[in-house]
Amino acid sequence: MATNNVTRLLEAKKIPFTAFDLPAEKLGALETAALLKVPAEQVFKTIVIKRDKPAKPVLAVVSGTDEVNLKMVATALGDKKVYLPTQKEAEEITHLQAGGISALALLNKGFNVLLDETALLFDEIHVSGGQRGLNIRLPVAAFIEITQAKTAPIASPLPSGGDA
pLDDT at 160: 65
Q: Which residues of the chain have pLDDT under 70?
A: 1-2, 160-164
131 Cβ partners below 8 Å, 6+ apart? 2, 4, 96, 97, 100, 105
pLDDT at 55: 78
pLDDT at 163: 54
Closest among 112, 121, 6, 1 to 49, alpha carbons compared? 112
Residue 41, helix vs strand vs coil: helix
pLDDT at 8: 93
pLDDT at 144: 97
CA end-to-end distance (rounded Å), the chain = 28
pLDDT at 29: 87
Q: Where are the domains of the chain?
A: 18-157
**In this structure, is the dihedral angle defined by the CA atoms of residues 123, 49, 6 and 136, taken in order, positive or negative?**
positive
pLDDT at 162: 52
Contact predicate 26/126, CB 8 Å: no
The topology (CATH level 3) of 18-157 is YbaK protein (3.90.960)
pLDDT at 4: 87
